[in-house]
Amino acid sequence: MLKNMKLIDLEREKMKSYQEFSKVELEDRYNDLLMQYNQFKNKNLSLNMARGKPGATQLSLSNDMLDVITSHDELGEYRNYGLLDGIDEAKDFFGDILNVSRDEIIVAGNSSLTLMFDQISRGYTHGYLGEAPWCRLETVKFICPVPGYDRHFAITEHFHIEMIPVPMIDQDLDVDTIVNLINSDPAIKGMWACPRYSNSTGYTFSKKSVEALAQVKPAANDFRFFWDNAYFVHHLNNDGDELLDLFAELKKYNNEKYIFEFFSTSKVTFPGSGVAVMACSAENKVDVLKHMNVQTIGGDKINQLRHVKYFKEPSGLVEHMKKHAALLKPKFDIVIKILNEKLKNVPNCYWTNPNGGYFISLFAPKGTAKKIVQLCKDAGVILTDAGAAYPYGQDPEDSHIRIAPSFPAENEIEEATKLLAICTELAFIETFL
Amino acid sequence: MLKNMKLIDLEREKMKSYQEFSKVELEDRYNDLLMQYNQFKNKNLSLNMARGKPGATQLSLSNDMLDVITSHDELGEYRNYGLLDGIDEAKDFFGDILNVSRDEIIVAGNSSLTLMFDQISRGYTHGYLGEAPWCRLETVKFICPVPGYDRHFAITEHFHIEMIPVPMIDQDLDVDTIVNLINSDPAIKGMWACPRYSNSTGYTFSKKSVEALAQVKPAANDFRFFWDNAYFVHHLNNDGDELLDLFAELKKYNNEKYIFEFFSTSKVTFPGSGVAVMACSAENKVDVLKHMNVQTIGGDKINQLRHVKYFKEPSGLVEHMKKHAALLKPKFDIVIKILNEKLKNVPNCYWTNPNGGYFISLFAPKGTAKKIVQLCKDAGVILTDAGAAYPYGQDPEDSHIRIAPSFPAENEIEEATKLLAICTELAFIETFL
């Protein structure tokens, strides 16, 4: 990943070259880009880089999982009602990955998003561990590191929770600001976090940040980190980013009740047919199950077993992720290569180069992101809406664009990224003309 | 099913024989029963007739479903995110069973209980079709025909909804009372209903009752029938009970917005690994999906396809249910036969003899149900808690006991029911002594 100092040097370099352009040269450049843009338009592209969907070849990596449970297997009571918090095999399997014990994990249905929604819904309707339900409070707030994940923000918006965006700085959390907020404001009941290969920057929270979070003294007893480890095992390179285990750190300070941690196999096996889990303190688990017991008889135990049998050991899942990386890395490389080539001269424009996850963030020159996304759309390439990575869809700098290169084919990514680069420079020059 | 007049005749018959007993004869009978009871105790039974769990042989009926989707199948995008309301094949399949169109059905995850919980949760947090969220109202009430289903009542209790029990009369809904309540009280936002082979009596709502429900003019715009068709296809005999289609009837009066109908394959294939659906008007569906879209990316589409491929046609599912009936009917017959033999002389004691579903209701002499359940428990047979079929667990007559004969083996059911009969007569005689 680029280091911040380098970014600043790069910006100086870029500024110089653009400042050297005469008005005429700028117009020439603009007209040249416009011609290229129109050539793209004539191709009648229809590409989608909006969502973090695995590509078809990735999905096929897990096809054999469909064969591991057949009518010949002795499934016994796993075919029946019961086992609200999941089968022991799955609790052990995912507990091993997340470094928690059986009484600190709930293995559930097919969606960690649902687990997060339901957990916030429970806070809203009933409250945590005897605290007041949030629907009875005047104001409830969540801290939202930005750029973040639009589906997180959609949940908090749905429950009328005020979102406090806290911009990432130096490719990390602004942890001082965050800890101050948590420790001082009793209306702050939660913080969204995607700690490793964050959606949508790909940044991983630093050791220093996690250590600081672990030592919070929340003003609200019912404050929780919504620790969405969606990309926990989703490295693109062999030497993936280190991430300190917040749950383990919290335990050092008797703070373990402040976390709900989420994980799923949606981007390991099949989205929609995967297994989602939540880890939390034993005390929280008892509280959560009390509510879950009214809502469901439990997740799909056969599918839980299907996953455990398929991977055999957690190491099997880790190995499986290397196959995903082999398919994803070239796609990320194409995007990075083209952005490096085409946008190196555009000032105030930079992008992330993550070691994992599903997204690259492009920070376009201020005030151009909406325009760029629209230009791309008009030429047949759908990107995530500008602003989507911010609460209420409002990027105050109108700069951020999330790039999701997993789904399209490599040649399509190349086309789409070239178009994106053209649109970015076009939109930038337009601010001068 | 016994007709009401017959029940009354039977009661007269019973009364006579017991009235003819002298005090000494009663004591002799009591001591004889006590001896039989203690013999049961010495058997160290450990049986459970508490829940409507399918038995192992029933589960095995669907084992071949585990083979219908393998790695060789072309599943395409069904392995990926998307299709919030389910795959078209499943919408058509279940839509055909429930007599609704694609835009009136949502095919979801593994649990209709979750669909019901979530739908009530949405009423509580957001309200239906623009009406006020129930959490903002002073009082919200649901009509609860009793005896009913404890998990229904657990949901409404969870959301602080006041439950109004309306006893079944003449083996049917007390539909006049119910319609009057719905039409007059704007605090009444819903009614629980298990219309065919009701949990826990096995009664099916009559044509007359459904016709009356269809013509409601609710005082509350956001009133809904929670029409839980859990046992819709679960006949025990070839000539199952007729049930009028409430959704279709409601349409005749432009009342179709007043229903949420639920169905699942939990007791068709595998509980926990089945498919649950909700049917509702197109207008309601749009409203529901707006909320669901924040909560989930959708149900397990591969499992939806697995079900459709396994049954091929709705008629395949209907045929499959005949195999369940062949296994269940003998179990129900054992219970009925023993109750007929052993309790025919106990006054104010009667039981249902349903044509389908999972439960038999025993109405023991008033004031004895709790005692009977405790006696059975002390001898190693777990029954559903007395009162469970009533809101807040309160059976005002302390009479009702739900018998769930599906799970134990036939010889176990025989033992358990004989014990139940002994305990019932014991508890009854104790009220004299």
B201-249, pLDDT tens digit by residue? 999 999 999 999 999 999 999 999 999 999 999 999 998 999 999 999 9
Show the tokens assigned to A248: 């383990």
Which amino acid would we find at residue A370? Answer: K
Domain ranges across chain A:
4-58+319-430, 75-312
A111, A122, A265: which to substitute to probe chain B, counting the most B Cβ within 10 Å?
A111
Residue B300: which of A59, A110, A113 has the nearest Cβ?
A: A110
| Residues A144, A192 contacting (CB under 8 angstroms) | yes
The CA distances from residue A66 to A62, A274, B299, B303, B383, in Å, are 8, 12, 17, 11, 39
- The helix/strand/coil state of A36 is helix
Residues of chain A in contact with residue B55, where contact means CB-CB under 8 angstroms, are: none
Residues of chain A in contact with residue B133, where contact means CB-CB under 8 angstroms, are: 135
Closest CA to B113 of B272, B269, B233, B223: B272
Give tens-digit pLDDT for A40-81.
999 999 999 999 999 999 999 999 999 999 999 999 999 999
- The predicted pLDDT at position B10 comes to 53
Residues of chain B in contact with residue A117, where contact means CB-CB under 8 angstroms, are: 294-296
Please judge whether A296 and B51 are an interchain contact, meaning their C-beta atoms are less than 8 angstroms apart: no
* Residue B253, number of CB atoms within 10 A of its CB: 12
Is the pLDDT assigned to residue A12 strictly greater than 70? no
Residues of chain A in contact with residue B62, where contact means CB-CB under 8 angstroms, are: 79
Show the tokens assigned to B133: 């969220």
- The predicted pLDDT at position B23 comes to 86
Half-sphere exposure of A360 (CA within 13 A, CB side): 31
Give tens-digit pLDDT for A82-112.
999 999 999 999 999 999 999 999 999 999 9
Entry pTM: 0.96
Dihedral (CA of A31, A34, A39, A40) sign: positive
- The predicted pLDDT at position B14 comes to 63
Instruction: Give the pLDDT band (50/70/90) at residue B2.
Output: very low
| Residues A264, A276 contacting (CB under 8 angstroms) | yes
**What residues does A228 pair with on adjacent strands?**
A262
| Residues B339, B346 contacting (CB under 8 angstroms) | no
Mean pLDDT of the B381-408 span: 97
Angle between helices A314-343 and A410-430 (to 10 degrees): 40
* Residue A15, number of CB atoms within 10 A of its CB: 13
Residue A273: which of B114, B291, B302 has the nearest Cβ?
A: B302
The CA distances from residue A39 to A34, A339, A421, B149, in Å, are 9, 19, 14, 65
Residues of chain B in contact with residue A300, where contact means CB-CB under 8 angstroms, are: 110, 272-273, 300, 303
Show the tokens assigned to B395: 């059976």
- The predicted pLDDT at position B12 comes to 58
Residue of A nearest to B51 (CA): A81
Residue of A nearest to B157 (CA): A294
At a CB cut-off of 8 Å and minimum separation 6, what does A80 contact? Answer: B53, B54, B59, B270, B271, B272
Residue A272: which of B121, B295, B301 has the nearest Cβ?
A: B301
User: How many angstroms away from the CA of B122 is the closest CA of chain A?
Assistant: 9
- The predicted pLDDT at position A18 comes to 75
Residue of A nearest to B155 (CA): A294
* Residue B368, number of CB atoms within 10 A of its CB: 27
Residues of chain B in contact with residue A154, where contact means CB-CB under 8 angstroms, are: 294
CA angle A146, A149, A153 (to 5 degrees): 90
H or E stretch at A226: strand A224-228
Mean pLDDT of the B396-410 span: 97
Residue A294: which of B69, B154, B296 has the nearest Cβ?
A: B154
Please judge whether B66 and A71 are an interchain contact, meaning their C-beta atoms are less than 8 angstroms apart: yes
Residue of A nearest to B299 (CA): A272
B75-312: which CATH number, 3.30.450.20, 3.40.640.10, 3.90.1570.10, 1.10.10.10?
A: 3.40.640.10
In percent, the amount of chain A with pLDDT more than 70 equals 96
Please judge whether A64 and B73 are an interchain contact, meaning their C-beta atoms are less than 8 angstroms apart: no
Mean pLDDT, rounded, of chain A: 95
d(C-alpha A253, C-alpha A105), whole Å: 20
Give tens-digit pLDDT for B286-327.
999 999 999 999 999 999 999 999 999 999 999 999 999 999
d(C-alpha B250, C-alpha B281), whole Å: 10
Least confident interval from A21-35, A115-129, A254-268, B331-345:
A21-35
Residue of A nearest to B297 (CA): A272
Phi, psi of B37 (to 5 degrees): -60, -45
Residues of chain A in contact with residue B135, where contact means CB-CB under 8 angstroms, are: 125, 133, 135
- The predicted pLDDT at position B5 comes to 42
* Residue B286, number of CB atoms within 10 A of its CB: 12
- The predicted pLDDT at position B156 comes to 98
Residue of A nearest to B79 (CA): A270
Is the pLDDT assigned to residue B168 strictly greater than 80? yes
Mean pLDDT of the A217-234 span: 98
Is the pLDDT assigned to residue B13 strictly greater than 70? no
d(C-alpha B350, C-alpha B10), whole Å: 9
Is the pLDDT assigned to residue B405 strictly greater than 70? yes
Residue A273: which of B155, B291, B303 has the nearest Cβ?
A: B303
Is the pLDDT assigned to residue B158 strictly greater than 60? yes
Residue of B nearest to A274 (CA): B300
Instruction: Give the pLDDT band (50/70/90) at residue B11.
Output: low
DSSP letter assigned to residue B231: T
- The predicted pLDDT at position B20 comes to 80
Residue B80: which of A54, A109, A114 has the nearest Cβ?
A: A54
User: Rg of the Cα trace of chain B?
Assistant: 23
N-terminal to C-terminal alpha carbon distance within chain B: 34
Please judge whether B80 and A270 are an interchain contact, meaning their C-beta atoms are less than 8 angstroms apart: yes
Residues of chain A in contact with residue B76, where contact means CB-CB under 8 angstroms, are: 56
- The predicted pLDDT at position A378 comes to 97
Is the pLDDT assigned to residue B381 strictly greater than 80? yes
Please judge whether A63 and B69 are an interchain contact, meaning their C-beta atoms are less than 8 angstroms apart: no
Is the pLDDT assigned to residue B398 strictly greater than 80? yes
Please judge whether A79 and B266 are an interchain contact, meaning their C-beta atoms are less than 8 angstroms apart: no
**CA A200 to chain CA centroid, nearest Å:** 5
d(C-alpha A181, C-alpha A171), whole Å: 20
Mean pLDDT of the A365-369 span: 97
Please judge whether A300 and B273 are an interchain contact, meaning their C-beta atoms are less than 8 angstroms apart: yes
Please judge whether B270 and A80 are an interchain contact, meaning their C-beta atoms are less than 8 angstroms apart: yes
Residues of chain A in contact with residue B268, where contact means CB-CB under 8 angstroms, are: none
Is the pLDDT assigned to residue B6 strictly greater than 80? no
Is the pLDDT assigned to residue B75 strictly greater than 70? yes
Is the pLDDT assigned to residue A114 strictly greater than 90? yes
Give tens-digit pLDDT for A142-155.
999 999 999 999 99
**What residues does A225 pair with on adjacent strands?**
A191, A259
Q: Assess if CATH 3.90.1150.10 describes domain A4-58+319-430.
A: yes
B81, B122, B150: which to substitute to probe chain A, counting the most A Cβ within 10 Å?
B81
A59, A65, A79: which to substitute to probe chain B, counting the most B Cβ within 10 Å?
A79
Closest CA to A189 of A232, A158, A219, A148: A219
Give tens-digit pLDDT for B246-271.
999 999 999 999 999 999 999 999 99
In percent, the amount of chain B with pLDDT more than 70 equals 96
User: How many angstroms away from the CA of B379 is the closest CA of chain A?
Assistant: 24
d(C-alpha B310, C-alpha B320), whole Å: 10
Is the pLDDT assigned to residue B77 strictly greater than 50? yes
d(C-alpha B339, C-alpha B349), whole Å: 10
User: How many angstroms away from the CA of B38 is the closest CA of chain A?
Assistant: 32
Give tens-digit pLDDT for B94-123.
999 999 999 999 999 999 999 999 999 999
Please judge whether B271 and A118 are an interchain contact, meaning their C-beta atoms are less than 8 angstroms apart: no
Give tens-digit pLDDT for A330-350.
999 999 999 999 999 899 999
**What residues does B262 pair with on adjacent strands?**
B228, B278
Is the pLDDT assigned to residue A116 strictly greater than 80? yes
Residue B158: which of A158, A271, A294 has the nearest Cβ?
A: A294
DSSP letter assigned to residue A175: H
| Residues B426, B343 contacting (CB under 8 angstroms) | no
Closest CA to B43 of B400, B416, B409, B304: B416
d(C-alpha B286, C-alpha B235), whole Å: 33
d(C-alpha A48, C-alpha A34), whole Å: 22
Give tens-digit pLDDT for A301-320.
999 999 999 999 999 999 99
| Residues A73, A219 contacting (CB under 8 angstroms) | no
N-terminal to C-terminal alpha carbon distance within chain A: 33
Is the pLDDT assigned to residue A10 strictly greater than 80? no
- The predicted pLDDT at position B1 comes to 38
Instruction: Give the pLDDT band (50/70/90) at residue A14.
Output: low
Show the tokens assigned to A145: 């590191």
DSSP letter assigned to residue B235: B
H or E stretch at B124: helix B112-125
Residue B271: which of A81, A158, A294 has the nearest Cβ?
A: A81
B74, B114, B291, B306: which to substitute to probe chain A, counting the most A Cβ within 10 Å?
B114
H or E stretch at B41: helix B23-42
DSSP letter assigned to residue A430: H
- The predicted pLDDT at position B16 comes to 59
**CA B312 to chain CA centroid, nearest Å:** 27
Is the pLDDT assigned to residue A8 strictly greater than 80? no
Residues of chain B in contact with residue A303, where contact means CB-CB under 8 angstroms, are: 273, 300, 303
